[in-house]
Amino acid sequence: MKPLRATLYEIFYRLPHSVRRRIVRMIVPKYIVGAVTLVRDSEASDPGRLLLLRQPPGRSWSLPAGLLQRREAPVVGAARELGEESGIQLDPEELRPAVPNAVVHAKGWVDVVFEASVPASTTTLTVDGAEVYEAAWYPLDDLPPLTRATARLLAYYGIGPLADQPEFQ
């Protein structure tokens, strides 16, 4: 039997995107600010590897990310979400601001993006099975199917299937 938390996540992610956004805005009515971490494998050779998560509904992959809590510094939120979703516990000081550090999305939210590098061979990935189904390392030149939001965000950093599109260069 699935835990209640896993069932609630599945129900939430099956809702249309516009309904999910409306629910989030009811909780955070003024604006939505998220923290995202691009975690690279420090041992990988060119082109490198990136940590990705498979979350509900489970068809595509995304980055460790989440909404900031009230009055939470973005770097603290990024470290917290990384730990909650992947099991990788880093101090906020170990995260570097990505360039660009903030990505403003047309749909009304802002992602503050950070980068980190960890050795994949000695880093244990731990997921809860509710919010995150699976965490894995993928070569930058052979990424799995990405969520639309993840593909768009990665494109700002020259990564993924949309990286060559003029709007992201």
Domain membership of residue 90 (yes or no) is yes
Query: What pLDDT, in 10s, does the model give residues 81-135?
Result: 999 999 999 999 999 999 999 998 877 789 999 999 999 999 999 999 899 999 9
d(CA 51, CA 126): 12
Domain CATH code at residue 129: 3.90.79.10
Number of domains, the chain? 1
Domain interval for residue 127: 4-158
pLDDT score of 29: 52
Q: 166 lies in a domain?
A: no
Residue 168 belongs to a domain: no
User: Per-residue pLDDT tens for 51-80?
Assistant: 999 998 888 999 999 999 989 999 999 999
Which residue, 8, 117, 145, 132, is CA-closest to 162?
145
More confident residue, 161 or 109: 161
Please give the Cα distance from 63 to 53 (Å, whole number). 6
In a domain, 167, yes or no: no
Is 39 part of any domain? yes
Identify the pLDDT of residue 142.
95
- Domain membership of residue 163 (yes or no) is no
Q: What pTM, to 2 d.p., does this model score?
A: 0.82
